[in-house]
Amino acid sequence: MNTSIIATRISQWPTRHPVVFVVLVALAWWVAYRMLVPASEALVAALPLDAHSHLGRSLQFFFYDTPKVLLLLTGVVFVMGIVNTYFTPERTRALLAGRAPGVANVLASALGVVTPFCSCSSVPLFIGFVQARVPLGVTFSFLVTAPMVDTVALTLLWSLFGWQIAAVYLAFGMLLGVASGLIIGALGLERYLEDWVRDMPSVSAEVALESLTWAERVAAGLEAVHTVVGKVWPYVVVGIGVGAGIHGYVPQDWLASFMGRDAAWWSVPAAVLLGVPMYANTAGILPVIEALTAKGAAMGTALAFMMSVVALSLPEMIILRKVLKPRLIATFVAIVAAGILAVGYLLNAIL
């Protein structure tokens, strides 16, 4: 048989036999995940170095965490690619429009958790919400939560730190999104939208719900893996590389002196300020957070740093300037930064 015909049939097989494909891939994923520890140990043991040296510890961290994070990322993105066939941007707008204040903020924050939008890709949705006449405070609840508390972040937090930390992060992240939206809504800042945004014609939030087959939803999951993982894997590798360096070389006492539980009061604000100029998604920054906490950094301080990286990134502020006037951007940054500081101090107190 012609090799091109064989390749075509192989490429079509997942959508022709979607259930079998998903089962087989899940089994292969599980086997690969279970092999991570022995495989990473074997790789380090095969190298001409002391496994307990700085370099050995760094390489062990890198060889274990890189495939682990990429496996988790691939699995979660595939599942959420299927889930998101039920949560298109149009349907998201439809669910938010016309809701009562408060209820709409909670719903917007919850939608931010289950929809795969980073801080920069959330901005086009922000414009769509304005066109659908979704209240400004509600749109900000979504804008704050979507990049900060997504399913990838929660899955990786669960894997790296346990379900308790993931649950606490989810609760505080959603609370921050809801509170920020309610405050911005109460301040009545619609006049600080750029004129072209306020003057856009209103569009209906109604959307025809398209019925998809299971094969089409599996295809959407595969496309999400190709798009998302293909885009973020370099950030993951770089993030884990940084984390490996911290894990192997940074002295624990030195790091704990300014990020540890007993560090000075200014450690949380300093972590937030350090995170703002940076830009990374949660998949890229979480390995760094894991390494920081392993070296003695307080959990609240480390998570406040992560929140500022993903929710107050400089690229997001630049993009927001296209649709918001400086006063509204400043208000948004001040409210979210204050919330992140409060979360950092509270987490340090309770964890």
Find all residues with CB under 8 Å of 208, minimum gap 6, and list them.
none
Question: What's the count of helices (H) and strands (E) in the chain, helices before strands?
Answer: 19, 0
Residue type, 241: G
Global pTM?
0.63
pLDDT digits over 40-58, tens only?
Answer: 888 888 888 887 787 887 8
Give residue 325's Cα distance to chain centre.
26
Residue 182: pLDDT band (50, 70, 90) is very high
How far is residue 159's CA from residue 162's CA, in Å, rounded to a whole number? Answer: 6
* Of 308, 315, 306, the residue nearest 287 (C-alpha): 306
pLDDT digits over 195-252, tens only?
Answer: 777 776 654 444 444 567 788 788 888 887 887 677 767 767 776 777 777 666 766 5
Highest mean pLDDT among 117-121, 124-128, 174-178, 308-312: 174-178
Domain ranges of the chain: 3-83+215-236, 89-211+250-350
pLDDT digits over 63-120, tens only?
Answer: 887 888 788 778 877 876 777 677 665 666 667 766 777 888 898 888 878 765 555 5
- Average pLDDT on 279-307 reads 77
Token pair for 322: 């296209």
**For 132-147, b where at least 16 C-beta lie within 10 A, e where not — what string?**
bebbbbbbbbbbbbbb
Whether the pLDDT of residue 262 is over 50: the answer is yes
CA-CA-CA-CA dihedral for 233, 140, 288, 62, to nearest 10: -20
Highest mean pLDDT among 13-22, 59-68, 124-133, 338-347: 338-347
> Are 41 and 57 spatial neighbours (Cβ–Cβ below 8 Å)?
no
